Amino acid sequence: MMSLDDVRARLQGPVFPTITPFKEGPGYEVDHEALKDYIDFLYDSGARNFYVMTYNGRFSLLSWKEMMEVNETVARHVKQKDSDCVVIVADPMTNPTSVSIEFAQHAEEVGADVISCIFMERHHHDDQVYDHFKAVADSTNIGILIHEQLLDSIHGSCLYPIELLDRLADIPNVIALKEDSKQPLYTEKVLSAVSDRLSVIISGRGKRQFIHFNNMGCQAHLVGVASFIPKVAFSFHRAYEANDKKTAWGIINELERPFFEIGMKYGWHPVLKSGMNILGVMSRTERPPLCSLSDAQHAEVESVINEMKKSEYWES
């Protein structure tokens, strides 16, 4: 098992969310064999950092038992392929602290390196949030990733107080942060406060945000279109590190932007599944109440992808 310092050091560059596939109805069971095939597809294309996220992982549609099974499939299959890969799994979206502890301990048992924890209870005061993460961290030896996003406060939504993030970063096995605010000025404050101790993974418009925030301490970003054309993530990073702005921005403007635009039009998660289906990566079947795109919408996604394929950067 890697040390926490090794895990944190490996969380650099592109991080690949795993997408949960479903079988056709009536039960819409999780398709674990298809999930393994997807991991193989990413790994064979160069992916080494894998992240079971609550939304891409479809945790809003799964029972707690199914969530653990997805965590286990990803952790065991990735580690069987390469023990040096980093595997981040997740706890549920709404649950008591005791369940997050169960998920953290299960994650350790199945070989994951990190458990991503999200706080969805209403925020009354900072100690309440701190105590939740501290209890989970104290229950396991693996790393903790704080999935930071808007908190539902008793006075409305609010961002994590920077002072709270600074306190959380001092918990010994808290090693990473998913920065999901999508608010640039706030992101700068987060990086200034915690990037000396945590690997910060930026979310949303990943490549553009990575270019902006890398010199401020952002070490990694979640991939988008690289979920179905993984090699593009590495082409982008090679270009960025070589200061090849033409290639880096060509990938952003000709591949990332057009797909993000249609993703925002019809919903990122079903559009991503449609894109994966068009390229033969995964079925676009979703479990109700989440719905797949209509045939007309799916055809529109295919049209966008066909235009993207004309780019010189598609197979870069």
The string of pLDDT tens digits covering residues 115-147 is: 999 999 999 999 999 999 999 999 999 999 999
Question: d(Cα 102, Cα 292) in Å, to the nearest integer?
Answer: 32
Confidence check: pLDDT of 206 > 80 = no
4-223: CATH topology:
TIM Barrel (3.20.20)
pLDDT at 79: 98
| 213-268 per-position pLDDT tens digit | 999 999 999 999 999 999 999 999 999 999 999 999 999 999 999 999 999 999 99
CA geometry: angle 268, 146, 85, nearest 5 deg: 80
How far is it between the farthest Cα atoms of the chain?
Answer: 53
DSSP 182: -
3-state SS, residue 25:
coil
pLDDT at 315: 76
To the nearest whole percent, how much of the chain has pLDDT over 90? 93
Pairing of strands 151-153, 156-158: antiparallel
DSSP 255: I
Question: d(Cα 67, Cα 64) in Å, to the nearest integer?
Answer: 5
3-state SS, residue 146:
strand
Domain boundaries, the chain: 4-223, 230-316
Question: d(Cα 57, Cα 61) in Å, to the nearest integer?
Answer: 9
| Cα 159 to chain centroid, rounded | 19
Confidence check: pLDDT of 19 > 90 = yes
Residues 6+ apart with CB under 8 A from 215: none
Token pair of 290 as six digits: 């989440």
Helix 231-241, helix 206-213: angle, nearest 10? 20
Residue bearing tokens 């301990």? 105
Question: d(Cα 39, Cα 16) in Å, to the nearest integer?
Answer: 10
Backbone phi, psi, residue 278, to 5°: -60, -35
| 53-107 per-position pLDDT tens digit | 999 999 999 999 999 999 999 999 999 999 999 999 999 989 999 999 999 999 9
pLDDT at 316: 61
| 164-190 per-position pLDDT tens digit | 999 999 999 999 999 989 899 999 999
pLDDT at 154: 85
